[in-house]
Amino acid sequence: MRILIAGFVMISCWVTCMHGEPAMKLFDGKLGFDAQVWGTARFYRFTSVGVSSNDARFERTTALAGLTGRVSSVASIRAFFDIGRYWGGSALDMYVDLAWQNGFGLRIGQFLLPLGFDYMTDYVRQPLVNNSLLQSYAKANGGRDIGATGSWQNGRFSVTTAVINGAGANADDNDARKDVCARFTAKPFGALDAVVALRGYYGWPGWSDTAWSSVAAEARFRSGSLELQAEIQNHSGDDGRNNAAYLQAAWGLGLFEPAARFDLVLPRGRRSEWMLTAGLNLRPIPEHLRVMLDCSYRRNYQDNWSVLAFMLRVQAWL
């Protein structure tokens, strides 16, 4: 059954890409279908204490499919699955969404948390394959969770606050406490396409009584086809404390999109870790198909190891 569904999604992506059509809308626009499929090949050279080893592999093909249903002018429902996995752990999003015209919103179910540009940018909009050292410190147990989130937004400001279990997606609550996450964004310059954000997270991962927290400041600036993005983050948890930051740039040049990123992690009482990534994206069908070529180098001074990686990804979406 999973093979048949995956085949249907891949064929749908191919047909849509060839005709340049938007995601499918059914039942007079009340039900929308979207999908994205990609395959990735990686070559690694791992070096530890002067000894090197190589590894080349094709990763599991990722096939994501979503349904969005419009219940009324205020209410909608969303189900989003990774159909390449077994059904028991494949759900990504499953929620009821309420959005009023005055800018207030309420979401209940399993959803992506407001954990910053890295998490909140759609997979097909991320300019690099190997894109972040900071994500694992923003929240334990991944960027999705079960709970409720309230939001308010207007043309220049937005506020989002979530109360969640903290155990991660598709998981039962692992303690009696609840985790909280909040994010504030602003567009301070009316004439410029610039966004600044502050966010925080506090909770318990379940395997430890040590609280997990992160606080971050973010900024993104766009001018034409050039996009710059940066973040500074402070983290504390059972894995220690650290400060971390990244700077990322991407420039769309028609068929080509070069991109680069630098991540730096400074643990308290330990030596640093950093990663430099450069990539070139080819976009034969800019809104539906791209080929991503990346090279990254990651260095960990504390444990004296490094990884050189070359990555190829072919990605198509509705």
- Predicted confidence (pLDDT) at residue 21 exceeds the cutoff of 80: no
Give the pLDDT band (50/70/90) at residue 18: very low
- pLDDT above 60 for 6: no
Domains present along the chain, CATH in parentheses: 2-317 (2.40.160.10)
pLDDT of residue 176: 84
Q: How many C-beta atoms lie closer than 10 Å to residue 301's C-beta?
A: 12
pTM score, whole prediction: 0.87
Each residue's pLDDT tens digit, 142-198: 999 999 999 999 989 999 999 999 999 999 888 889 999 999 999 998 788 999 999
Gyration radius from the chain CA atoms: 20
Output the average pLDDT for the chain: 90
56 pLDDT exceeds 90? yes
Task: Judge whether residue 199 has pLDDT over 80.
Answer: yes
The per-residue pLDDT for 23 is 64
Which of 41, 45, 132, 39 has its CA nearest to residue 309? 45
Rounded distance, CA 227 to CA 224, Å?
8
Q: Give the C-alpha distances (Å, rounded to integers) separating 8 from 3, 36, 37, 155, 200.
A: 9, 12, 11, 39, 40
- Top pLDDT among 8 and 236 is at 236
Residue 14 has pLDDT above 70, yes or no: no
Q: Give the pLDDT confidence of 61-90 residue by residue, as tens digits.
A: 889 999 999 999 999 999 999 987 765 558
Instruction: Please give the share of the chain, as a percent, with pLDDT higher than 90.
Output: 77
Predicted local distance difference test score (pLDDT) of residue 272 = 96
Specify the pLDDT at position 175: 83
In this predicted structure, the answer to whether residue 200 has a pLDDT above a threshold of 80 is yes
> How confident is the model at residue 212, as a pLDDT?
94
| Planar angle of CA 194, 196, 199, nearest 5 degrees | 155
Span 222-240, mean pLDDT? 95
φ/ψ of 300, rounded to 5, equals: -115, 110
Position 127 scores a pLDDT of: 96
Question: Tens digits of per-residue pLDDT, 102-144?
Answer: 999 999 999 999 999 999 999 999 999 977 899 989 999 999 9
